[in-house]
Structure 1
Amino acid sequence: MISIRLFMLLIRASFRSRMQYKFNFIFSTLMSACIQISEFMMVALVMMKFGHIHGWSLYEVSYLYGVIMISKAIYRTLASDVHHLEKYLVSGDLDAILIRPVPVLLALMTQNSRILIAEICQGTILLFISMKALIGSGQIGWSAIPLTGFIILTGAVILFAIGLATAAAGFWLTRIESLQNMTEDASHTAARYPLSIYPKWLQGALLVLVPVGFVNYIPALYVLRNEGGLGMLLGTIIVAGVALWLAMRFWKLGLSRYQSTGS
């Protein structure tokens, strides 16, 4: 409980610090919104022409897109600089965090925090439009709404675990941008679409090596198509718990071997 209160105190202070630069906040939010909208519009235009992607309708793909967008936004809002650990390793600035009277990970998570309003709003709009249509057609029921909220939170945990494990690799590699391009950026992009469109080896990688498939695709099979039963959701919870535990262990191992590279 003390760690949670401390986290909330630190992240509020970080938010207040960021909001002192209102123009930068508004500009970055608008730019992010334009990028996200343009990316989805390209997909939507293709689907409107061909009707579906491997049996998945535009509304179903919108659901996948919205879930992972909000999950990622929550992860990046609450643990922003975990993704940017490389700059601390290269510059040696991690040393300054190590001497603080708070856990290193907690201090890092609350550095430079910012609320990703554009991503959260766009993801919410996508989910509202898609779920309204799917409920209206009778494909899903109202129970899908609270289930989706739970899926989003579980997905945020999985994405945090992936990001933390990737960051921890920096204690050995120092430079991890290329690795992050694969484990976070590329995998997140791939997970916006049904995994069934990919070859089997890539499906396996996105479910086992970098389990982004459990952020939205696996639970969506149950919520949208009633496939697999509650086991789909149970499996998602287990994956989230195991992934977080492994990532924390890997982080602690890496931190114990950290040697400053700064000058």
Structure 2
Amino acid sequence: MKLYFTLVGASIRARMQYKFNFLFSTFSYGLIMVTDFLMLAAILLRFDDIRGWSIYEVGVLYGISSASMSLYRVVAAEIHDFERYMVEGEFDSLLIRPVSPLTLLLSRNLDLNRIGGVVQGLSILGISLSHLTALPTFFWLLWYLPVALGTGLIISVSLGLMTATLAFWTHRIREFQVFTLYAPTNAANYPVSIYPGWLKWIFFTVLPVAFMNYLPATFLLQKGGEWYLLVVSPMAALLFAGVAFSFWRFGIRHYHSTGS
């Protein structure tokens, strides 16, 4: 961990060499994310609710999902762009170093520009919470938010790692990311209950984004869930992280280097 924080510090110092670019990129990304939520809000304001979920309750789901995904893009930028390591043959250079390749990937580059998305998600979360203070479980909701964000980050990183592992066989993963990252996390902005049964099954198993925000929210927002779901979600996230890491190690054992 000492080595990890040393490498992360070096990455941050490198990014701060161009402060204006950092501030402009962060603001631009946050603005794009705000526009995305405004489109969702326009629909909800017209139809009042989605399957009994008000705009502010959906805002809680959206805020957790958006902030978690943006945090993933901050701390795991090189995992998200792992395709480059396969196509350009850079992964070989990581394997000859006396440090875990995963540690090197996580510490090599922090995409601080994505902080704008984190701020945007937390802002929407704060606005939504300010309209839900009458809930009997409101203080439970406030207490649980750090756990929900941590759970969402673990699930996002795990999805990113499993997708990156596919590159050991396919080399290119951009198309896979549409189905394994972008589509599921966008779907998590809404209540999972609105989706058909087969899609719900996917969101609770293969792509478990339902544990990111929806499942604990059913209790915290009085939608019929039970208190033990607050424990089930982080446990499911840790289990999924273990599966993703095992798949990653399996991929490395079957890596045959880049060549022609």
TM-score bin, normalised by smaller chain: over 0.9
The equivalent of 1:121 in structure 2 is: 119
Shift >3 Å, 4+ stretches: none
Over residues 98-120 of structure 1, what are the superposed CA-to-partner deviations in whole Å (9 max), with x where a residue is unaligned? 22221100001122212222111
Equivalent positions of 1:119-198 (< 5 A) are: 119-135=117-133, 137-198=134-195
Report the Cα distance in structure 2 between the residues aligned to 1:145 and 1:240, rounded to whole angstroms. Answer: 20
Query: Aligned partners of 1:32, 1:106: CA distance in 2, in Å?
Result: 27
TM-score (norm 1): 0.94
1:226, CA displacement in angstroms? 5.8
Q: Which residue is equivalent to 1:219?
A: 216
Aligned to 2:42: 45
Q: 1:57 matched to which residue of 2?
A: 54
Report sequence identity in percent: 39
Letter in 2 for 1:216: N
Aligned length: 259
TM-score (norm 2): 0.95
Partner of 1:106: 103
Residue number in structure 2 paired with 1:5: 2
1:90 maps onto 2:87 in alignment: yes
SS at match of 1:110: helix
The correspondence for 1:29, drawn from 4, 9, 26, is 26
Partner secondary structure for residue 260 of structure 1:
coil
Provide the C-alpha distance between the structure 2 equivalents of 1:139 and 1:60, rounded to a whole number of angstroms: 14
Give the Cα–Cα distance (whole angstroms) in 1 for the partners of residues 136 and 126 of structure 2.
15
CA RMSD in angstroms, aligned pairs only: 1.5
Change (3 A) 1:158 1:121: same
C-alpha contact (below 8 Å) 1:93/1:262 kept by paired residues: no
Task: State the AA in 2 paired with 1:89.
Answer: M
**2-side partners of 1:157 and 1:214: how far apart?**
11
CA apart distance, 1:130:
0.9
1:142 aligned counterpart, secondary structure: helix
- State the Cα deviation string for residues 33-73 of structure 1 (Å, max 9, x = none): 12101110011011111111121100001000100111112
Q: Which residue of 2 aligns with 1:17?
A: 14
Q: Render the CA deviation track for 1:146-194: whole Å, top value 9, x for unaligned.
A: 2111111111111111111111111111111111110001111111111
CA contact (8 A) 2:71 2:115 kept: no
Aligned partner of 1:210 in structure 2 is 207
